[in-house]
Structure 1
Amino acid sequence: MVQVELIYVPGSGSTVHMRLDLKDGATVEQALNQSNIYSICPETNGLAIGIYGKLVSNETTLKEGDRIELYRSLILDPKDKRRKVAQVKLKTKLANKKRD
């Protein structure tokens, strides 16, 4: 038997955290099916899957202590977000200089 964790954080911010006991040689797909995550959170079907931050396939064999993570799509690319924040700061700074 191997014990693994399953983590999913929906957009609402609450965390789905499960501990699963699986047979030796179990795969990610078997863990997901046993967890019923697709019934509990239907939006997880088709999401990217990883173990400790590294993308894996459904056929990946699990080891003791693995943490299966389901990754939501990013709403905004982090680079684009930083650019937008920088643009707003620059506009604010320029507007403040014009007032002085």
Structure 2
Amino acid sequence: KLLVADSTLGKAIKEKFSFDCIANSSVQDLMRVIRSQADSLLQIDEKELAAMRIGLAHRYEKNIDKPDRDCRDLVFYVKPLRNSVPLLKKIPCKC
């Protein structure tokens, strides 16, 4: 199962990739905690992390009505992190 912040994105992922997605308040809480601790978990400079957040926000805003592109963008941004952050290597992912 895949945790997603947005139920619409979860539906698009399920249709396209046949992943069961969960989008509820518990997922929102978990994502909030991860975001608040991201700089210590990822061991990335706060300035670089802020730039990544802005880049993702702009990219998402541009493609709000194109869920397929959002999925590709997410994989594009997460895959390098997955290779560099030991914690993320433990999480199963089809990238």
Relative to the length of structure 1, the TM-score reads 0.20
Higher relative contact order (CA 8 A, sep 6+): 1
More strand by share: 1
More helix by share: 2
Relative to the length of structure 2, the TM-score reads 0.21
